[in-house]
Amino acid sequence: MSVSVSSTDRIVLASRPNGAPVAANFRREQAALPPLQPGQVLLRNRYLSLDPYMRGRMEEGPSYAPPVALDAVMEGSTVSEVVASADDALTVGTLVIAPGGWQTHAVVDAASISRRLNPAGLPLSTALGVHGMPGFTAYAGLQEIGRVQPGETLVVAAASGPVGATVVQLAKQQGARVVGIAGGEAKRAYVETLGADVALDHRADDFAEQLRHAAPDGIDVYFENVGGKVFDAVLPLLNDFARVPVCGTIATYNARGVRVPGPDRLPGFFSQVLRQRLNVRGFIQSDFNDLFPRFEQDMAQWLREGRIQYREDIVQGLDAAPDAFFGLLQGRNFGKLVVELD
| Furthest C-alpha separation in the chain | 65
Report the CATH number of the 7-128+312-340 domain: 3.90.180.10
Q: What is the mean pLDDT of residues 298-323?
A: 96
- Can you tell me the mean pLDDT for 169-193? 97
Residue ranges of the domains in the chain? 7-128+312-340, 133-287
Query: What gap in Å lies between CA 204 and CA 183, rounded to an integer?
Result: 9
CA distances from 69 to 57, 58, 59, 61, 107 (A): 9, 8, 9, 12, 18
pLDDT band at 256 (very low <50, low <70, confident <90, very high): low
Which has the higher per-residue pLDDT, 228 or 77? 77
pLDDT above 90 for 130 = yes
Confidence of residue 61 (pLDDT cuts 50, 70, 90): confident
Query: Smallest Cα–Cα separation from 310: which of 162, 186, 168, 89?
Result: 162
* Mean pLDDT estimate for the chain: 93
State which H helix or E strand residue 192 sits in: helix 185-193
**CATH architecture type of domain 133-287:** 3-Layer(aba) Sandwich (3.40)
Contact 225, 161 (CB under 8 A): yes
> Do 115 and 299 contact (CB within 8 A), yes or no?
no
Instruction: Give the pLDDT of residue 1.
Output: 43
The pLDDT value recorded for residue 252 is: 64
Reference 42, options 76, 94, 96, 84; nearest CA is 84
Q: What is the pLDDT of residues 40-57, one digit of tens each?
A: 999 999 999 999 999 989
Tell which wins on pLDDT, 260 or 133.
133
The reply to whether 7-128+312-340 and 133-287 are identical in fold is no
Q: Percent of the chain beyond pLDDT 70?
A: 95
Q: Kindly give the interhelix angle for 292-305 and 133-141, rounded to the nearest 10 degrees.
A: 110
Residue 120 has pLDDT above 90, yes or no: no
pLDDT in tens, 197-211: 999 999 999 999 999
> What residues does 27 pair with on adjacent strands?
12
How many CB atoms within 10 Å of residue 57?
16
> Which candidate, 209, 31, 162, places its Cα nearest to that of 103?
31
Mean pLDDT: which of 60-64, 157-161, 247-251, 255-259 is highest? 157-161
Residue 98 has pLDDT above 90, yes or no: yes
